[in-house]
Amino acid sequence: MKAFFFGLGYSSQHAVKATRERGFAVGGTVRSAEKAERLQAEGIDAIVFDGERPGPGVGAALEDVTHVILSAAPGDDGDPVLQHHRAELDAAPRLEWLCYYSTVGVYGDFDGAWIDETAPLVPRNMRSDLRVLAEQAWRDYAAQRGVPLTILRLAGIYGPGRSTFDRLRDGTARRVIKPGQVFNRIHVADIARVTALAAERRLDGTFNMADDEPAPPQDVIAYGAEMIGMPVPPDLPFETTEMSPMQRSFYRDNKRVSNRAIKHALGIEMLYPNYRAGLRQILESEE
């Protein structure tokens, strides 16, 4: 079996490791020749595709691929892989499974209520609007090709090198207080493990990838600061805190996202079911 990742970013590189451990050969795309060279040195068949134009070598790379995982963000013109490499996917003779990394942002705001995959999609920003369209484009493509498709709607991704600890240490962590606001998170190791298990089983369907315990963002920062002996940043009221439009847009969505469906489908529990367990793992990995 060979897995090919369109977009070897943070989550996909962890998923590469998990799929390799299960016997998959792996390849994928990156946006620069420098990154391709670095990953090739690690035994990953990386080629350049920047999403703006067809990637030379993608067609040849797909000739023996069985599993394709897609994490490239859609643009105004739609999904970049379908835009530039649909014909090569059509011609891939061994293709038997697709996986698309989406976002829980497709749901929009539910005023803190619990939701699952049956909730209506009412996204509150253009990024999430485009994700809804991309999800459907991949469902249509999978149906046309006659292959199963797993859509993973990811909550806020964190892990080693991308966590509260990093923001505390570089001075960018802020405890923005919006009463009643909660977010789900997902440790990158859980994304990687679920991707590999879903690939093995050729899972079909749309699933949330979130932890068990949505929590206020300020609680996570305070817990992380205490773990590493740093001062807890002061409270900042949401209404008067200066933020970029993108940062402020995240606070427009308030919901508790259930992960019950993916746990049932794969017969698992999350490796890091809450932010406390996840942060402990990150700190242990640093030590």
The pLDDT tens digits of the residues spanning 3-31 come to: 999 999 999 999 999 999 999 999 999 99
Helices (H), the chain: 10-21, 33-41, 58-61, 80-91, 126-145, 164-169, 188-201, 217-227, 245-250, 260-266, 275-286
Contact residues for 28 (Cβ-Cβ < 8 A; gap 6+): 4, 5, 6, 7, 8, 12, 16, 39, 44, 45, 46, 47, 69
Q: Token digits for 169?
A: 């240490």
- For residue 151, the cross-strand partners are 100, 206
Round to whole Å and give the CA distance between 274 and 279: 9
pLDDT value of residue 124: 86
248: which residues sit within 8 A by CB, 6+ positions away?
none
pLDDT tens readout for residues 128-182: 999 999 999 999 999 999 999 999 999 999 999 999 999 999 999 999 999 999 9
Helix axes 10-21, 188-201, angle to 10 degrees: 50
Domain layout of the chain by residue ranges: 2-158+185-211+256-272
Task: Tell whether the torsion through CA atoms of 168, 171, 175 and 176 is positive or negative.
Answer: negative
pTM to 2 decimals? 0.96
Task: Return the pLDDT at 287.
Answer: 82
The architecture CATH gives domain 2-158+185-211+256-272: 3-Layer(aba) Sandwich (3.40)
Mean pLDDT of the 239-259 span? 93
| Average pLDDT of the chain to the nearest whole number | 96
Q: Residue 215 has what DSSP assignment?
A: B
